[in-house]
A and B are shown apart, each in its own frame.
Chain A
Amino acid sequence: MTNVLLVDMEKCTSCKQCTLACSLIKEELFDPHRGRIKILKKEDIALGVQLLCEQCDAHPCIDACPSGALSRDEITGVISVNLDTCTESGSCVEACPYHGIILHPVTNKPLICDLCGGDPYCAKHCVSGALVWTSGDDELVKTKKKLRSARMAMYRDVKKGVAK
């Protein structure tokens, strides 16, 4: 049994507590541009779509990196960045199918969710229950993937301008 982070768009109120909490714990300041979790917000339809690293099985970011700076923990799926070898190419950002990676506005290095080493700080801040860190079986992993598919479908709709 491992824990999974359930990320439910339907419960997201777009408050951005998660993003701020992330920037606080990781950078000791508040900056929505420095959160490993981001909210794609669409004000006219009051929508918020959470975007973050999904620790996915395919992890194309690793292959996309020209300098081999990314590695993956086989147990947790967490992607780590070797800051010394990273050349700030942004290839991982492009490669991520879940739009979960952004570059740090100052250092230009990728910001990738590491689940805070197994105790995600953001989830504690999500009172509406859109982020839930819970122990999971296979069923829960399926739920996680279903929630993710819904978010990605909405992401595409937002980009196409047809989201509602």
Chain B
Amino acid sequence: MYGHQGKILHVNLKTGKIWNEDLHEEWRKLYVGSRGINAKLLWDYCKDSDITWDDPRNIIIYGPGALTGTTAPASGRTSVTTVGCTTGLYLKSNTGGHWGAELRFAGYDNMVVHDEADEPSYIYIEDDHVEIKDAKDLWGKDIIETDTMLKKLYGNESKGLYIGPAGEKLVRGSSIHCSLYHAAGRGGAAAVMGKKNLKAISVKGSKPIRVKDPKKFGEVAEEMRELLRADSGAQGLHEFGTAGSIAAVNELHAFPGKNWQTGYTDNVHPISGQALNEKGYLKRRVACFGCTIGCHRYSVIEKGPNAGIASGGPEYETFGALGNGPGIIDTEGVLRLNELCNRIGLDTITAGTVVQWAIESYQRGVLTKEDTDGLDLDWGKIEETYKAVEKMALRDGKLGNLLADGLKIATKKVGQDSYKWAIINAKGLEQSNVETRSAKSYALAFAVNPRGNDHLMTETFAEFGASPEAIDVIEKVTGDKKWASPHYTDYRAEIVRWHEDCYEITEALGFCVFTSTAAYGVNPDNMARLYEAATGITMTEDELMFSGRRVVTLEKAFNVTRGATREHDNLPWRLMNEGAKSGPLKGAMNSQDELDGMLDRYYTLHDWDLKSSWPTRQTYEKLGMKDVADYLETNGGLP
């Protein structure tokens, strides 16, 4: 087979059964790869709403892209899909690193793990040899220790996907680490692995990937590579990392601080990508497999009391959630917190958002010193924040147990008005550090995101019109360049819809979404041409985008089975009820009225029912998913 390797690997941890399933030919056109095929598999195995995240029948699926392992620039990413523990809904989390490419070289396009092991286990894959191994020596070990032990057994060339102590302890903000410093962090897929007693998947492969037309493939990949090379956004990402944009975001008064009570911070410089470079913390610029951008960092503290702290990152989101958020405007403070999360296996976004809520709750007297195990929480306190994060990751003490379950559960336990400063929406995922009050496409995209409110199911950066390429995208989608401005509510539904489809196919092929929705070098047109060169499957740009639409709708359908409705498509209380503190859009908020206007347009564009937000039978059938409509009809899931 060309492009795809043609096999899906299944492992049942309970029975020990291991089998291969041939990749269905029609799926290559309908779902393409990675996120798309993962979504189809999750639907097929877990659509029954009795299957909760911790039910043994829940599966976890790992899917590198259909082009992962090739010279398609920045195509090395992997989607991880399961029933999420934070929201109880559909969860796709996506990671960079080198593990996904290695899985493809071992001969597999996707991998499905079923059921639960009785004892701590890990899976070792070397091409056709797949084995479930005893992980009792690994259990309790952190990410770095786990990697060292498995590399000792399987060599430096082996690639690992691990959970840390946080995942083992079913912490809802735990993250899956992928070839060490990359993570499928959002939504707690690591806790699903923890529940399954699955510590690690180590893989080594030696099977080449063949493409249908190597010459054509090389040409289209080159076209993408050169567009990205020339793109100022991509250049900035390489030079300063994702955190290079912090000063600019701060200037827009859109850099959330103190649990989203501020948008602007004086002297934000210490928590920026530029500071990492200037102060000598940046040791190396790092890339995921096959990535020509190389936005990842490896940062080291070489001297002083914190000497020896070394890890991947910090990213924009980490400087936000664990820096500006808790008021830690201190490079080494964030480097330490980042290292802790990477070592222990915790999502820095969730960790930061949860701890900020705890600090504010303590300030308001809703949490007492007894609740915090004696920690005197406040903004800007590095040691207290460090201890709170550590407690959360290890479920240590009263505070650790409260925070470990995330804000959806913690706000219910604590009660009072604590939901008002919990930065989660009705689905329950802690929000990433994007100021949605002054960026309305983001607001809408966050609200409708099936896994909760963040920027990693759809990115709508183009609405800022920060580059000519971004403005072109807005013109293409809306018909007029003037809509490239984030404070408009008009045409936001159109912008979100286009980006949903584009984002989906970007991930299905394994590309990093920075290539198509933040920087611009990969687009639906050249993706379709590259997919054809790889597989021999002819798809137009529109057909490829249509496959994205199919997957987005299937993901929505999954949430319909769990009873998610229009009410779940909202934003955190604070952002819907409190105005932005300062800046050009001072006072701006995501009011219910404003959101309703955009949602009506969004559902209308999608042919989804306005009242329930659910897709109609006709919508499913147009996308070739009559079986989905039939299932939903018998289970009360059609409007």
Write the A21-54 contact mask toward B (1 if CB under 8 angstroms, else 0): 1011101111111100000011111110000000
Q: Across the interface, which residues of A come within 8 angstroms of B218, CB to CB?
A: 24-25
Is B290 interfacial (CB-CB < 8 Å)?
yes
Do A17 and B208 have beta carbons less than 8 Å apart?
no
Q: CA of A163 to CA of B238 in the docked complex: distance in angstroms? A: 24
Instruction: Tell me the bound Cα distance from A24 to B529 in angstroms.
Output: 18
Binds B, one of A59-67, A121-129, A144-152: A121-129
Q: B289 near A16 (CB under 8 angstroms)? A: yes
Which residue of A has the minimal Cβ distance to B292?
A127
Inter-chain CA distance A129–B268, complex, in Å, is 31
| CB contacts between A and B, total, < 8 Å | 104
Task: Provide the A4-16 mask, 1 if CB < 8 A to any CB of B, else 0.
Answer: 0000001101111
Tell me the bound Cα distance from A46 to B285 in angstroms: 8
Q: Which of B71, B179, B284, B298 contacts A20 (CB 8 A)?
A: B71
Taken together as a complex, chains A and B put the C-alpha atoms of A113 and B264 apart, in Å, by: 53
Q: Which of B181, B283, B292, B310 contacts A125 (CB 8 A)?
A: B292
Cα separation A44 to B156 with both chains bound (whole Å): 10
Query: Contacts A17-B290, A20-B71, A31-B105 given: A46-B312 contact, CB under 8 Å?
Result: yes
Interface residue A68 (Cβ < 8 Å from any Cβ of B): no
Residues of B within 8 A of A16 (CB): 98, 289-290
Q: Are B291 and A44 in contact (CB under 8 A)?
A: no
Q: Contact: A125 with B225, CB < 8 Å?
A: yes
The reply on A118 being an interface residue by CB < 8 A is no
Bound form: Cα–Cα A16–B73 in Å: 11
Docked CA distance A39–B164 (Å): 28
CB nearest neighbor in B for A47: B284
Q: How far is the CA of A16 from the CA of B399 in the complex (A)?
A: 44
A70 to B49 CA separation, bound complex (whole angstroms):
66
Instruction: Tell me how many residues of A have a C-beta within 8 Å of chain B.
Output: 32
Please give me the residue from chain A that is nearest to B71 by CB atom.
A20
Q: Would A31 and B222 be within 8 Å (CB), given that A15-B291, A15-B294, A47-B284 are in contact?
A: no
User: From residue B509, how far is it (CB to closest CB) to chain A in Å?
Assistant: 14
Residues on B with beta carbons closer than 8 Å to the beta carbon of A11: 285
CB A164 to nearest CB in B, in angstroms, measures 8
> Does any Cβ of A come within 8 Å of B210's Cβ?
yes
A81 to chain B, nearest CB (A): 21
CB-defined contacts of A30 to chain B, threshold 8 Å: 69-71, 208-211
CA A14 to CA B181, docked complex, whole Å: 13
- A160 CA to B209 CA, complexed, in Å: 33
Instruction: Give every chain B residue within 8 A of A43 (Cβ-Cβ).
Output: 98, 147, 179-181
Provided the pairs A20-B70, A28-B214, A30-B70 are in contact, do residues A15 and B288 lie with their beta carbons within 8 angstroms? yes
Interface range for B = 35 or more
CA gap between A127 and B69 in the complex, in Å = 18
A24, A28, A33, A46: which contacts B283 (Cβ < 8 A)?
A46
Question: Across the interface, which residues of B come within 8 angstroms of A15, CB to CB?
Answer: 76, 287-292, 294
Contact A127 B288 (CB under 8 A): no
**Is B148 located at the chain interface by the 8 A CB criterion?**
yes
CB pair A13–B286 under 8 Å, yes or no, is yes
A54 and B454 CA atoms in complex are apart in Å by 48
Report Cα–Cα, A31/B287, bound state, in Å: 18
- Whether the pair B285, A13 counts as a contact (CB closer than 8 A) is yes
Please give me the residue from chain B that is nearest to A25 by CB atom.
B218
Contact of A31 among B73, B179, B209 (CB under 8 A): B209
> Which of A17, A28, A105 is the most central at the interface, judged by chain B CB atoms within 10 Å of its CB?
A17
B206 sits at the interface (CB 8 A): yes
* Complex contacts, A14 vs chain B, CB 8 Å: 286-287
Q: B284 contacts which chain A residues (CB < 8 A)? A: 10, 13, 45-47
Task: Select the residue from A21, A31, A43 with max chain B CB neighbours within 10 A.
Answer: A43
A43 vs B287: C-alpha distance when bound (angstroms)? 11
If the complex has contacts A17-B73, A43-B180, are A29 and B290 also in contact, measured as CB distance less than 8 A?
no
CB distance from A156 to the nearest CB of B (A): 15
Give CA–CA (A23, B286) in the complex, Å.
Answer: 22
Contact with A along B210-227 (1 / 0, CB 8 A): 110010011000100100
Determine which residue in B180, B209, B287 has the highest number of CB atoms from chain A within 10 A of its CB, and name it.
B287
Q: How far is the CB of A41 from chain B (nearest CB, A)?
A: 7
Contact of B228 with A127 in the complex, beta carbons under 8 Å = yes
- Give me 20 A-to-B residue pairs in the complex whose CB atoms sit less than 8 angstroms apart, sorted by A's number: A15-B287, A16-B289, A20-B69, A20-B70, A20-B290, A24-B71, A29-B211, A29-B214, A30-B208, A30-B209, A31-B207, A33-B206, A41-B98, A44-B180, A45-B284, A46-B181, A47-B284, A128-B285, A128-B287, A128-B294
Q: Which 9 A-B pairs have the closest CB atoms?
A: A46-B298, A13-B287, A15-B287, A31-B208, A13-B294, A127-B292, A28-B214, A30-B209, A29-B208
A residues apposed to B, CB below 8 Å: 10-11, 13-17, 20-21, 23-25, 27-34, 41-47, 105, 124-125, 127-128
Which B residues are closer than 8 A to A by beta carbons? 69-71, 73, 76, 98, 105, 144, 147-148, 156, 179-181, 206-211, 214, 217-218, 222, 225, 228-229, 238, 283-294, 296, 298, 310, 312
**20 extra A-B contacts, CB within 8 A, seeds A29-B210, A30-B70, A33-B206:** A13-B291, A13-B294, A15-B287, A15-B290, A15-B291, A16-B290, A20-B69, A20-B71, A24-B71, A25-B218, A31-B207, A31-B208, A41-B156, A43-B147, A43-B179, A44-B144, A44-B180, A47-B284, A125-B292, A127-B229
